[in-house]
Structure 1
C-alpha cells in the first residue's frame, strides 16, 4: 500500500514547481522574468551600485574574420547602466518570488505563514492559490512595504489566530477584517494609522492589540469600551490628543499602555 503522506508531499512539490513554471518564465538568454500573479509586488533595492558594472569590460574571444576588426571599438563600449540595473533587479525579483513560494510551501506543513521581510508591496494572488487547501493559524507580514490589505485576505484566512502587520505602510484595514472570528492577537505597530480601524472593535475574540508607533490622534473611545474580548492595547508613542488621552486613562476594563501626556501650552506654568 503506498505511503499517502509521501504521496501528499510529492503532490505539493509538483504543485509548487507548477506555480513557479507558471509565474516565472525565462525568455532567451537575457533571463527576463515575466510576472503574472506576482506582478507589482517586489521593490528593487535602491542601494545597489553600478560602479563595478561600469568598470567591467565586455570580454569576447578574438575573431578569425578581418571584418570583425571594424567593430572592435563598438565591442569595448561600456554596457548601458540602466539595462544592467534592470537585469539585476529582475534577477533579485525572481529570487524574491522563489522565496515567497518556498515559504508558502513550508506553511502547508506547519500552518504558519511567514512572509516577513520579503519586500512585498501587496499580498500576491499566488499566495491565496498556494494556501487554498491550508488552514492557516498564524500569518506574519511584517517588515515589508505593504500599503493595504485587500478584503479577500480576511475571507480567505479567517481562521488565523495571530496576525502581524507591523513595520509596513498601512493606514487602514478593510471592514471585512471584522469577520476574522478566530483572531486573538493583532499587531499593526510601526505603520501610518491615524485612527484605530473600526473593524478592530468588532472582532469577537481579539484580546491583544499592538498599535504603538503610529500617527494615531483620535480614537472612538465608546466603541473601544464595547469591544467584546479586548484586554490589552499598546498605544505608546502616538500623538493622541489630550482629551482622548484622559478618556483612555479612565478606562479600567482594558489594560491600555499610553505614553505620558504632553501638557498643552496653557497647562505649562513654566512658559
Structure 2
C-alpha cells in the first residue's frame, strides 16, 4: 500500500517538475490516485502558477478542491476534473475569470455548481453523469460566452427540459428522460 502511494507521489512530483522545467502551461495529474490536491505542489509551482492554463485532475479520487487551488491557478483556461468524487466547488471558483472549459463529468454533483454562472469567459460546461436534478436556467441564459453545457445522464426534472429551450442560445445536451448511463 505504502509503496503504491510512494509511486503515485513520485509520479506526481515528476509531472509537476516537468511542468516547471519545460515552462509548460499544462499540469497533468490525471490518474494519480489523488484524494486531494497535494499542498506541496503550490510551493513548487508558485513562480509559474500564473502561466498554467490547463490542469487535468481526471480519474482521481478527489472529494473536494480547496479555495487555495482556485485562487492559485486563477489564470486557468481549462480545468478537467472528470471521474472524481466531487459534489461541490468552492466559492473561490469565481476567481477563474479566464476559464473557458470545465469538465465535471462522472462526479457526484447533486446540485448544479452555481458559482460557474459567474464566470464571464466560460464557454463549455460538462456535467455529464452526475446526479443533478435542477439547473439554474435563467442564470445560465445570462452567461455571455456560454456555448455548450452537457447534462446527459443526469436525473433532470421535467421543468428544466421545458423551461430551457426557449430561454437559451447555447447547446444544452440532455439524455432522453429516464435514460441511464452505461455502467462503468
The CA distance in 2 between the partners of 1:92 and 1:191, in whole Å, is 24
TM-score (norm 1): 0.62
Distance 1:229 1:138 in 2: 19
Which residue does the alignment assign to 1:217? 133
Q: CA RMSD in A?
A: 1.1
Q: 2:41 aligns with which of 112, 127, 132?
A: 127
How much has 1:168 moved relative to structure 2? 0.1
Counterparts of 1:195 and 1:254, CA distance in 2: 21
State the 1:221 CA deviation. Answer: 1.5
Q: RCO greater where, 1 or 2, for CA within 8 Å and sep 6 or more? A: 2
Q: Residue 111 of structure 1 aligns with which residue? A: 25
Aligned to 1:171: 87
Unaligned 5+ segments in structure 2 are: 179-184
SS of the equivalent of 1:163 reads strand
1:74-93 alignment, distance < 5 Å: 89-93=1-5
Instruction: Return the alpha-carbon distance in structure 2 between the equivalents of residues 233 and 176 of structure 1.
Output: 21
1:63 is matched with none
CA distance in 1, matches of 2:125, 2:167: 16
State how many pairs are aligned.
Answer: 174
Which ranges of 4 or more aligned residues in structure 1 deviate by more than 6 Å?
none
- Please give the TM-score of this superposition, normalised by the length of structure 2: 0.91
Specify the alignment match of 1:98 in structure 2: 10
Aligned to 2:64: 148
Whether the 8 Å CA contact 1:245–1:261 is kept in 2: the answer is no
Which is helix-richer, 1 or 2?
Answer: 1
Question: Larger radius of gyration, structure 1 or 2?
Answer: 1
1:1-271 alignment runs, 5 A limit: 89-108=1-20, 109=22, 110-134=24-48, 135-262=51-178
Offset at residue 240 of structure 1 (A): 0.2
Structure 1 residue 252: deviation in Å?
A: 3.6
Unaligned runs of 5+ in 1: 1-88, 263-271
